[in-house]
Chain A
Amino acid sequence: MNGVSTWLLILTPLLPLVLAVPALRARLPWPCHVALLPALALLAMPADAAVDLPWLLLGSGLALDAGLGRWPLAMAVLVWGAAASLLPAAGGRPVDARLASWFLLTLSGGLGAILATELVGFFSFSVLMGYGFYALLVSGGDVPARRAARVYLVLLIVADLALFEALLMAASTAGETAFEAVRPAMAASPSAALYVAMVLVGFAARAGLWPLHVWLVPLSRSVRPGVVLLLGAVPVATALLGLVRWLPLGDASLPGAGLVVQGMGVAAVLSALVAMARRRGCASWPAWGCVLATGLFAIALGAGLADAAVWGRFGGWAGLFIAAVGLAVALLVAACAWRRTGGVPVAGRADDAPAWFERWAAAAVRRAARLGMETLPRWRAAGLAGAACLWRVRAWRRALDGGERLLQRWACAVILVVLVGIVVALAGASFGGR
């Protein structure tokens, strides 16, 4: 049994990855569904499974633990399956080869992140998932979708950077990167607050936690339904899972950080409620539903973060909660889609204009270009040109030419010979005697 579950663990992220190469799935019917089979089989295994992969990356491993892994995995399989079935229906044309590739890449990342046992593995899989999801959003999306996806990408990069820093801190403090080792080590570390802040920023951006939810709303309105369905299950749920995995929950009591997180959660819930109440159409409901769910989760998480004992008592429910969030969002999307059947996706006119942060970024780049980036080389070029001019200055040429002509005159030459002779003799005479 153990061998089988080991293979299933490895195959769960590997099979989608392999099938993502178009040539390898050319003759396979339903490749997107087939890719899910190992995960399904893994869920069917009653016992927990774990496998060490010391040769992978910087020493990695995969495991399915009952508490935190099983529920999210079950939810993921469900939602991914549904999304895979919806995929070809999009736009009524057969599924595009590249879209399927992106889908499978994202799937591999999403499943792998759930199974990862240490920070680097989790990070790698979630990055794969993030970029894959971005590609899913962009391919075939309309202009607002692309713009929203771009925002998502920028946030993703910033989040990755923050997480990378956190990762470095953890590795350098704990000496290894397994979740079990990092949590207590970071709890005891003096830079725990910084670590927690980095992790929070990173995963908040990925989960679309208030106030970093800007990408969620336009996306949910304009991307094809098969992809929107994944919104809750893929970026959001994985990010929430990451929070639970990475933060030193249950080992450290950080009341300050907990308060901040709770505050964010409350703000998220309120803003989501207000927004849902204000908008008549249900197009943006899935997005706000996400914000609402993550807000609720943040409130609970904040409580756990503030007091280790609280997490000790209720932490076991986190997996179930995450699964519920993913499922709920998916259901919300489905409901919306059902209500909206026949209608075209409503792309708000206002969305065509670039958002404020994009305008600012563009302006900053322009200004930088004008200020430093092009000026410096120009200066240097000017300096070189000046030197070249100096070389060409008439005086120089005349000095060289004239000098040579002068030296070639006989009179001058004879004088010089005599002079050299006298100077050598005199120098020898005046200094040689001593």
Chain B
Amino acid sequence: MPFAGVPWEVLIILLPLAGAMACFLWPRRALPLALLTALAVSVGVAGLGWQVVTQGVKRHAVGGWGAPLGIDLYADGLSLLMLAVTAVVALAVGVYARGYFKARAARAFWPLSLFLWAALNALFLSADIFNLYVTLELLGLAAVALVALAGGAAALNGAMRYLLVGLLGSLAYLLGVALLYHGFGSLDLAILGERVEASPVVWAAMGLMSAGLLLKTALFPLHFWLPAAHASAPAPVSALLSALVVKASFYILLRLWLTAFPPTDAVVAQLLGLLGAGAVLWGGMQALRQTRLKLLVAYSTVAQLGYLFLAFPLASVMGWGGAIYLLLSHAVAKTAMFMAAGNIRRFGGHDRIADLDRVAQRLPLTIAAFGLAGVSIMGLPPSGGFIAKWLLLEAAVRTNQWWWVVVLVAGGLLTAAWVFRVIGYAFTQARVPHAPRAVPVGMEWAALAMAVTAIVLGLVAPWPLALLAVGAPFAGGAGG
């Protein structure tokens, strides 16, 4: 194997950065450059995946200095899965954005999105909490810039609010980092995990970091910024934000929870679960009441993020597996859904749900994508969402926590209600003929491909779950 020694983990951070620079410098060639970069990064992720699968967990000390002084890049099954889903979503968004953006917006989109990708990759590979902070901050800035891309008062308003929230969240997190460093003299996750013991400093840091990350993850009741930001952004950006960016802060929280924080009593976990349940129900209800398609999809993201937090009280390999699988399938499915929403908006010039009957019949591929993604999001088999929900349900039943079963099922029903509320309009006969605008084929197929991926995730579950076991990220600090 000639590539066995290639430091893919460094390449997949540097490549998109370089690509972003190139796109920025040669805006006319941005499109081929960006797609080329995307391909290269995907190959890099695959290469890293190959290494992790064959050689196990990979730790790379950048510049030769290891922890506790230098920067470590750490790749286990969990980070690999996150990288992979990032690559998949990014590729699809790239294909989609090719048709979506007109010339001017595209100039800014390509460098920014590659920058975002680099930040994401770095985040998923970081092994120390300060590094995580830096990548989180970069990610937030790139995301805000992307939201503002749409132009107009709503988008700028949303972007502004998003920026402030991001700063607030990062600030809280940074304070926590400082407290921890002060207390234990290290930033490395693994070392922290060994040194940390119950003390007021830890609890304070835990409170600060959790609050900041929960705000950035938009967990109910801190989700106030998400619908506006996600709904006002251009469709490919919404897809990236919903699928990946909010997951990044969840990922950090998960890492901290599993390794850095000392095991606490079940109360904190139950608290997080409670907030998650609130998100599932509140988000579901709000989604059901929306009259605009993109807002609806955005609220459904709020609900779906709630599911992720249900894993905390369930705290078992199965529960975590369920949460991660939900994260993966939601990322893919939500991408498809935002793409479909973007297609519909492009086609009819609006996204009012009640008036969809004029457009839905003419875009069968898009509606199919929306429907299939909806299947995954509501957790019906066969789909990634179903696998995730099954695992969560099983964990809940095994630990005799019936209330979570009720929440899981009720959330699924709420989701089904809004999905079919939209789909129902696809079958009505158009009453008023109108002049549609053509939707590029690539946009329709990209949405469908993502939706199909979400379905296929339901049939290949053993592989990702086996991958997740590499490095046993869930073995030690199971939290509760």
Q: Do A and B interact directly, with beta carbons closer than 8 Å?
A: yes
Closest to A419 in B: B211
B222→A427 contact, CB < 8 A: no
* Residue B286 at the chain A interface, CB threshold 8 Å: yes
A420→B222 contact, CB < 8 A: yes
B221→A418 contact, CB < 8 A: no
* Residue A370 at the chain B interface, CB threshold 8 Å: no
- Interface contacts beyond A413-B165, A425-B208, A434-B265: sample of 4 additional A-B pairs, CB < 8 Å, sorted by A: A397-B289, A408-B224, A416-B221, A427-B268
* Residue A92 at the chain B interface, CB threshold 8 Å: no
Contacts of B172 in A (CB 8 A): 417, 421
B286→A425 contact, CB < 8 A: no
Nearest first, the 7 closest Cβ-Cβ pairs linking A and B are A425-B207, A431-B265, A421-B211, A432-B264, A429-B203, A421-B207, A408-B224
Quote the shortest CB–CB distance from B75 to chain A (angstroms). 29
Interface residues of B in 369-419 (CB under 8 A from A): none
* Residue B271 at the chain A interface, CB threshold 8 Å: yes
Closest to A401 in B: B289
Separation of A397 and B202 alpha carbons in the complex (Å): 42
A417→B215 contact, CB < 8 A: yes
* Residue B223 at the chain A interface, CB threshold 8 Å: yes
Separation of A404 and B169 alpha carbons in the complex (Å): 20
A428→B285 contact, CB < 8 A: no
Q: Give B257-278 as 1s and 0s: 1 = Cβ < 8 Å from A's Cβ atoms.
A: 0000111111110010001000
* CB-contact partner of A421 in B208, B262, B286, under 8 A: B208
Determine chain B's interface SS by DSSP, over half rule: helix
Interface residues of A in 391-434 (CB under 8 A from B): 397, 400, 403-404, 407-409, 412-414, 416-418, 420-434
Q: A421-B172, A433-B198 are in contact. Are A426 and B203 (CB under 8 A)?
A: yes
* Residue B146 at the chain A interface, CB threshold 8 Å: no
Separation of A408 and B302 alpha carbons in the complex (Å): 14
A407→B224 contact, CB < 8 A: yes
Q: Give B197-213 as 1s and 0s: 1 = Cβ < 8 Å from A's Cβ atoms.
A: 01010111011101110
B203→A425 contact, CB < 8 A: yes
Quote the shortest CB–CB distance from B195 to chain A (angstroms). 16
* Residue B240 at the chain A interface, CB threshold 8 Å: no
Q: A421-B208, A422-B207 are in contact. Are A427 and B223 (CB under 8 A)?
A: no
- Show 24 residue pairs from A and B whose CB-CB distance is below 8 angstroms, ordered by the A residue: A404-B224, A407-B221, A407-B223, A413-B215, A414-B168, A417-B168, A417-B172, A417-B212, A420-B207, A420-B211, A420-B214, A420-B215, A421-B207, A421-B211, A423-B271, A425-B207, A428-B202, A428-B203, A428-B261, A431-B265, A432-B198, A432-B203, A432-B262, A434-B265
Q: Which residues of B does A touch, CB under 8 Å?
A: 165, 168-169, 172, 198, 200, 202-204, 206-208, 210-212, 214-215, 221-225, 228, 261-268, 271, 275, 282, 285-286, 289
B271→A417 contact, CB < 8 A: no
Closest to A432 in B: B264
Separation of A432 and B264 alpha carbons in the complex (Å): 4
Separation of A404 and B268 alpha carbons in the complex (Å): 25
Separation of A237 and B275 alpha carbons in the complex (Å): 82
Contacts of A428 in B (CB 8 A): 202-203, 206-207, 261, 264, 268
Contacts of B261 in A (CB 8 A): 428
Closest to B268 in A: A427
* CB-contact partner of A425 in B204, B214, B223, B265, under 8 A: B204
B210→A420 contact, CB < 8 A: yes
Separation of A380 and B332 alpha carbons in the complex (Å): 41
Quote the shortest CB–CB distance from B236 to chain A (angstroms). 25
Closest to A422 in B: B207
Q: A400-B286, A429-B200 are in contact. Are A424 and B271 (CB under 8 A)?
A: yes
Contacts of A431 in B (CB 8 A): 264-268
Separation of A416 and B220 alpha carbons in the complex (Å): 10
Closest to B228 in A: A408
Closest to A414 in B: B168
Closest to B262 in A: A432
Separation of A423 and B275 alpha carbons in the complex (Å): 12
Q: Which interface residue of B212, B223, B264, B282 has the most chain A CB atoms within 10 A? A: B264
* CB-contact partner of A424 in B207, B262, B289, under 8 A: B207
Separation of A424 and B263 alpha carbons in the complex (Å): 13
Contacts of B211 in A (CB 8 A): 417-418, 420-421, 424
Quote the shortest CB–CB distance from A292 to chain B (angstroms). 69
Contacts of B223 in A (CB 8 A): 407
Quote the shortest CB–CB distance from B218 to chain A (angstroms). 11
A404→B286 contact, CB < 8 A: yes
B263→A432 contact, CB < 8 A: yes
Separation of A192 and B289 alpha carbons in the complex (Å): 68
Contacts of B210 in A (CB 8 A): 420-421, 424
Contacts of A420 in B (CB 8 A): 207, 210-211, 214-215, 222, 275
Separation of A400 and B265 alpha carbons in the complex (Å): 33
Quote the shortest CB–CB distance from B145 to chain A (angstroms). 22
Contacts of B266 in A (CB 8 A): 431
Quote the shortest CB–CB distance from A396 to chain B (angstroms). 9
Separation of A430 and B285 alpha carbons in the complex (Å): 34
Q: Give A163-201 as 1s and 0s: 1 = Cβ < 8 Å from B's Cβ atoms.
A: 000000000000000000000000000000000000000
Quote the shortest CB–CB distance from A286 to chain B (angstroms). 64
B265→A426 contact, CB < 8 A: no
Separation of A408 and B228 alpha carbons in the complex (Å): 10
A416→B222 contact, CB < 8 A: yes
Closest to A403 in B: B282
Quote the shortest CB–CB distance from B153 to chain A (angstroms). 16
Contacts of B215 in A (CB 8 A): 413, 417, 420
Contacts of A404 in B (CB 8 A): 224, 286
Quote the shortest CB–CB distance from B215 to chain A (angstroms). 5
Contacts of B207 in A (CB 8 A): 420-426, 428
Q: Which interface residue of A403, A413, A423, A430 has the most chain B CB atoms within 10 A? A: A413
Quote the shortest CB–CB distance from A431 to chain B (angstroms). 3
Contacts of A417 in B (CB 8 A): 168-169, 172, 211-212, 214-215, 222
Quote the shortest CB–CB distance from A92 to chain B (angstroms). 57
B264→A413 contact, CB < 8 A: no
B286→A424 contact, CB < 8 A: no
Separation of A344 and B211 alpha carbons in the complex (Å): 101
Separation of A404 and B225 alpha carbons in the complex (Å): 11
Separation of A400 and B286 alpha carbons in the complex (Å): 7
Separation of A40 and B4 alpha carbons in the complex (Å): 97
Separation of A434 and B264 alpha carbons in the complex (Å): 8
Contacts of A414 in B (CB 8 A): 168
B206→A424 contact, CB < 8 A: yes
Contacts of B264 in A (CB 8 A): 427-428, 431-432
Separation of A428 and B225 alpha carbons in the complex (Å): 27
A432→B208 contact, CB < 8 A: no
Contacts of A416 in B (CB 8 A): 221-222
Quote the shortest CB–CB distance from B228 to chain A (angstroms). 8
A427→B267 contact, CB < 8 A: yes
Closest to A397 in B: B289
Closest to A412 in B: B224
Contacts of B206 in A (CB 8 A): 424-425, 428
Contacts of B262 in A (CB 8 A): 432
Quote the shortest CB–CB distance from A302 to chain B (angstroms). 68
Separation of A424 and B289 alpha carbons in the complex (Å): 31
Q: Which interface residue of A397, A407, A418, A429 has the most chain B CB atoms within 10 A? A: A429
A413→B204 contact, CB < 8 A: no
